[in-house]
Amino acid sequence: MVNRSIFLDHFQEQEASALVVDGVLQDFFIESNTPSPGQIYRATVDRPIKGQGGYFLKTPDGPAFLRQGKGLSQGSRILVQVSGFAEIGKAIPVSSKILLKSRYVIITPENPGLNISRQIKNEERRDELIALIRLNLRNFKEGMILRSSCINAADKEILDDAEEMLNLAEKISSDESNEEQLILESDKPHALAWREWSEDADIFSEGGSFETHGILDLLEKLKSERIETNDGHYFIETTRACTTVDINTGSDTSPAAALKANLAMARDLPRQLRLRGIGGQIILDPAPISKKDRKIVDTALKKAFRKDSVETNIVGWTAMGLIELQRARVRLSWK
């Protein structure tokens, strides 16, 4: 039986939440003092970026960058949502595609239709969920995605959550103000824990629970660049330009040592990147393996990142035998 625990406390004087599964820290959220993913602004179009198809915008929290835009006039007001954390000295990344995410549903105002998470594979349950929404929520015009957390949830909980998010979407769309302003704040770590960690778990919310239950010790380990595995070790080092991951076999000198070290890294890497809040360009320097074994490593990486909550693109191998990744900057680097 899997032992899952959620801890709601504060860390470095900021609200924080931690998910521990069988004694291993699996996820961690900490409050940010900067604009966070999910925040919605009514922004002012400043100027286009020639040759890139993007625009600089003005928001109450500073300049923002909209990567894809078309036909926007300078000085006009548009709704945008923060899509990631800004790098130091750069504009806030935003998107014009608004998503309102909660525990059971995601509302997509500009993409109507009812969809269900692919992770819900039971056809009977999928039919039940479609009937539940269509019979009880007949007239909504927004799009709705039922999340995988709906699979075992009570009907009332799903409906209550859906109605609340539809009301929020209507409130945002019907706001006739034309002022440049913050429309919706992002969820804080305790709310994110409720939203994203929906599986059954023991919950500890008393003050000081991080210290009492050893969470501080688990976080302290993340300050080390060296990560030990059962089949070697690897180092994660971050620069302004990129993050590098160097995999080593350790004392094992057997013919299979390099492949085992690389596979152990592949299984653990998504968790380490998630906990450390690392995004952007990531370069892996694997322990030397034959070209025929690269497919095995590719398969392991794809399987590991498929389960990760942060979008990561495995670009591929370089001519020098390195592996390139591109990862969304949707987690805060807190160290």
pLDDT at residue number 181? 95
Instruction: State the pLDDT at residue 301.
Output: 98
Six-digit token string for 78 = 């548009």
What's residue 51's pLDDT? 73
- Sheet containing strand 113-116, edge to edge, reads 100-101, 105-108, 143-146, 113-116
**Residue in 38, 21, 11, 30 with CA at minimum distance from that of residue 197:** 21
Q: Look at residue 255 and tell me whether its pLDDT is greater than 90.
A: no
279 pLDDT band (50/70/90 cuts)?
very high
Which residues are CB-neighbours of 288 under 8 A, at least 6 positions away? 258, 321
For 102-157, how does the pLDDT look when each residue is reduced to its tens digit (9 = 90+)?
Answer: 999 999 998 999 999 999 999 999 999 999 999 999 889 999 999 999 999 999 99
What is the band of 253 on the pLDDT scale with cuts at 50, 70, 90?
confident
- What CATH class has 40-97? mainly beta
DSSP category for residue 321: S
Residue recorded with tokens 């009570």:
154
Query: Can you give the residue ranges of every domain in the chain?
Result: 4-31+190-215, 40-97, 100-176, 224-327
pLDDT band at 88 (very low <50, low <70, confident <90, very high): confident
Taking only the tens place, the pLDDT of each residue in 25-34 is 999 999 999 9
Categorize the per-residue pLDDT at 168 as very low, low, confident or very high, splitting at 50, 70 and 90.
Answer: very high
**Region of residue 71 (phi > 0: left; psi between -120 and 50: alpha; otherwise: beta):** left
- Listing DSSP states for 254-302 in one string gives STTHHHHHHHHHHHHHHHHHHHHT--EEEEEEPPP--HHHHHHHHHHHH
End-to-end CA distance of the chain: 33
* Sequence-ordered list of residues with C-beta below 8 angstroms from that of 88, at least 6 positions apart, any chain: 240
